[in-house]
Amino acid sequence: MRKDLTAIITSCALVVGSCGGGGSGGSPPSPPPPSPPPTAARLFTDPAPESLGIADVERVISLAVAEAQARSLPSTIAVVDRVGNVLGVFVMNGANLTLRIPDAPGGVAANTELQGASLPAPAAVAGAIAKAISGAYLSSGGNAFSTRTASQIVQQHFPPAPTTAGLESGPLYGVQFSQLPCSDLMQRFGAFGSGALIGPKRSPLGLSADPGGFPLYKNGVVVGGVGIMGDGVYGFDPNILDVDNDAEEFIALAATQGFAAPDDIRAERISVDGTLLRYSDATAAGLRGGTPQSFAALNGSAGNLVAVPGYSNASISAGAVYGSEASGVRASTAAEFANRDAYILSDGAGANRFPIRAGTDIASVTTPISATEARALLEEAFTIMSRARGQIRRPNDSRAQVTISLVDTHGAVLGIVRSPDAPMFGTDVSLQKARTAAFFSNPRAASDLTANINPDVGAFLREARTFFANSNVFTGQTAWTSRAIGNISRPYFPDGEVGRPQGPFSRSINGFNPFSTGLQSALVVGNITTHVGFLLGANPDTPARCTSTPDAVAGQNRLQNGIQIFPGSVPVYRGSTLVGAIGVSGDGIDQDDMVAFLGANNAGTRIGGVGNAALAIRSDQVTVSVGGNPVRLRFVSCPFAPFLDTAQQNVCQGL
């Protein structure tokens, strides 16, 4: 499944111009956008308390079985709630329970990591659960995304098609390696006691790009997701220009009858960079299943409920009401966070899992982030989010909704806060982004990569040293964001320019597909394969700790839920000293960047002490020669007309 790479050269997603984000240049500094005066009025509406009941889950499964029977494709059907609890897994008689991942573009010889893997029964259950979780986690009350949508936004060109060669990569390139089974943030089945529904729960294969996963809604409220595996191939759609006749997608669509996403918020109503997203190639007119049998009649005759180690018993459960203490995601108290719109992650017994606190890294930093500074950083970032115009939400001019994470230089969480209806996927991703910025900006990054037990990881570092012509790269001289790390993690450098070599943290285009992105996947492939072995009964489960980089201190790893390689984070400095990082995820990538960047800036303006990196050390001061032309990396990029309460433009320029 894994082969050594000997030629990794150059990187991706970079532009020469600095389109408004934290750049240098000669523009005069602009004052930070003013914060609105404190108000008791809330700006966000809590999602209504809807959830999937046992009868609902049975109905979803019955609808899927009827369509699968009509198409002669016995399948595995998984249903989850909004926070990822697996509510039921049903395997039809004769279902193909194997799971094959496609080969790399260069064929079998170019396969690395998960590419080309053929997994025996019952691996298909992992694919079905991952699809269901993806539909639930990527969606909200303002957007409904499917696994087909995910496929569109994680490939080397956006949109993916033979005619789009030369365009940059998908905006969420790399998001598939999130919600990982090794993540220290994601919860596990059985944690907090039998039957506990504390989320967000992990996914066995991260997020899925294989069509056949949809969100489920009740009265306009996202309550979960459904995923189907039937053909044995766990892939993605490389060409968005055609219309696929995908039986798994039709079966999944049939399962959403009565639980369908509202038309107005489906992906095809949402555009990114002028391109409408894709929700489904399957249509209601193409369904064949008709009226389903009752679940009682199907269970034991058409197939059976099955237990999945680490995910579910062989039974059906009712879903958690998102926003309740029992779901693990609830409104904050006034003592936990000042803004009354804020939500936090809880343990089901009233305790905040990630309360605001001071930095833990006194062994590495003379003056760590204080609790007061942590609170200011999170509050100011939350205020920017509350004012920002959302990119991926309907109706137009909705407020952005995201999750915000703050970490110290050891990767320890100093607080996580989210808006009421932020998509669940952004919870883990915001933490990955924060840790990515803190890790690569840290003086120990290079030594930690060198010490990783996977030789591929050290090889990527050596390629980076060659690429930058700098043997000291990643030893603390540069402030790196997840946008900048993404720049050098694409299969073309600059991003999308066909014929260019890959970035130093990427596989070559012959070795790329969404299952092998480069350094990002190399850091966690051991955890994923261990977890798959656990599902197949071959070995114990992966620990709740991704990557085998050395601990910062005993029991604390800087990359404990992996790295992320699309935008939305900034490192935080005290003068010239790195003290932590902010990560943001859940809306457009420029919105995520802006919330992190202006949050850090405004916290520094408010209380002093901490803030963004000095201009001179930011990653957008780094240039690389490509064909004799200088190409500059990025730091952040902020959106045009970003706020709902002002017409101010270029809000990040000069800061």
Tell me the C-alpha distance between 339 and 42, whole Å. Answer: 9
Give me the pLDDT at residue 192, please.
75
Tell me the C-alpha distance between 313 and 334, whole Å. Answer: 38
Tell me the C-alpha distance between 644 and 396, whole Å. Answer: 11
Count Cβ neighbours within 10 Å for each residue of 174-200 and write b for 16 or more, e otherwise: bbbbbbbbbbbbbbebeeeeeebbbbb
Question: 3-state DSSP call for residue 352?
Answer: strand
pLDDT in tens, 200-211: 999 999 999 999
Give me the pLDDT at residue 274, please.
87
**HEC sequence for 563-606:** CCCCCCEEEEEECCEEEEEEEEECCCHHHHHHHHHHHHHHHHHH
Q: Is the pLDDT reported for residue 4 higher than 50? A: no
Residue type, 233: V
Token pair listed for 486: 């993404």
Q: What is the mean pLDDT of residues 273-301?
A: 96
Comparing 15-19, 89-93, 384-388, 436-440, the range with the smallest average pLDDT is 15-19
Nearest to 527 by CA among 555, 563, 561: 561
Find out whether 208 and 176 touch, Cβ atoms under 8 Å.
Answer: yes
Question: 3-state DSSP call for residue 221?
Answer: strand
Comparing 31-35, 306-310, 455-459, 646-650, the range with the smallest average pLDDT is 31-35
Tell me the C-alpha distance between 486 and 565, whole Å. Answer: 4
- State the distance between the two ends of the chain, measured CA to CA, in whole angstroms: 46
Residues in the chain, total: 655
Residue 205 C-beta-side C-alpha neighbours within 13 Å: 30
Tell me the C-alpha distance between 641 and 649, whole Å. Answer: 5
**In whole angstroms, how far apart are CA 225 and each of 200, 464, 596?**
13, 40, 30
**In whole angstroms, how far apart are CA 276 and each of 392, 515, 604, 639?**
11, 24, 38, 18
pLDDT in tens, 249-263: 999 999 999 999 999
**In whole angstroms, how far apart are CA 335 and each of 85, 353, 452?**
29, 14, 41
pLDDT in tens, 570-590: 999 999 999 999 999 999 999
Token pair listed for 263: 């038309």
pLDDT in tens, 336-350: 999 999 999 999 999
Question: 3-state DSSP call for residue 459?
Answer: helix
Find out whether 287 and 250 touch, Cβ atoms under 8 Å.
Answer: yes
pLDDT band of residue 5 (cuts 50, 70, 90) is very low
pLDDT in tens, 625-655: 998 899 999 999 999 999 999 999 999 999 9
Token pair listed for 323: 């926003």
Give me the pLDDT at residue 40, please.
55
Nearest to 388 by CA among 648, 606, 653, 38: 648
pLDDT in tens, 414-426: 999 999 999 999 9
Tell me the C-alpha distance between 14 and 12, whole Å. Answer: 6
Give me the pLDDT at residue 69, please.
98
Token pair listed for 150: 């995910």
Tell me the C-alpha distance between 597 and 27, whole Å. Answer: 18
| Cβ-defined contacts of 527-533 (< 8 Å, 24+) | 527/180, 527/181, 527/182, 528/114, 528/180, 528/181, 528/182, 528/205, 528/206, 529/1, 529/114, 531/181, 531/182, 531/204, 531/310, 532/119, 532/123, 532/126, 532/204, 532/205
Q: Is the pLDDT reported for residue 36 higher than 50? A: no
Burial-class residue 300 by CB neighbours within 10 Å (0-12, 13-18, 19+). Answer: exposed
Residue extents of the structural domains in the chain = 54-305
Residue type, 11: S
Tell me the C-alpha distance between 84 and 253, whole Å. Answer: 19
Find out whether 365 and 408 touch, Cβ atoms under 8 Å.
Answer: yes
DSSP classification of residue 327 = G
pLDDT in tens, 588-606: 999 999 999 999 999 999 9
pLDDT in tens, 328-382: 999 999 999 999 999 999 999 999 999 999 999 999 999 999 999 999 999 999 9
Find out whether 213 and 135 touch, Cβ atoms under 8 Å.
Answer: yes
Q: Residue 197: which residues within 8 A CB-CB, separation 6 or more?
A: 81, 83, 85, 317, 319, 320, 326, 327, 328, 348
Helix pair angle (54-70, 247-255), 10° resolution: 150
Give me the pLDDT at residue 196, please.
87
Q: Residue 558: which residues within 8 A CB-CB, separation 6 or more?
A: 409, 410, 411, 435, 438, 439, 442, 448, 549, 552
DSSP classification of residue 487 = H
Asked whether the CA dihedral 178, 184, 188, 192 is positive or negative, the reply is negative
Tell me the C-alpha distance between 28 and 256, whole Å. Answer: 53
Find out whether 567 and 425 touch, Cβ atoms under 8 Å.
Answer: no
Helix pair angle (525-535, 124-137), 10° resolution: 120
Residue-averaged pLDDT of the chain: 93
pLDDT band of residue 32 (cuts 50, 70, 90) is low
Predicted TM-score (pTM) of the model is 0.94
pLDDT in tens, 190-200: 877 767 899 99
Helix pair angle (371-387, 589-607), 10° resolution: 130
Q: Is the pLDDT reported for residue 26 higher than 60? A: no
- State which CATH number among 3.30.450.150, 3.40.50.800, 3.40.50.360, 3.30.70.260 fits the domain covering 54-305: 3.30.450.150
Q: Is the pLDDT reported for residue 21 higher than 60? A: no
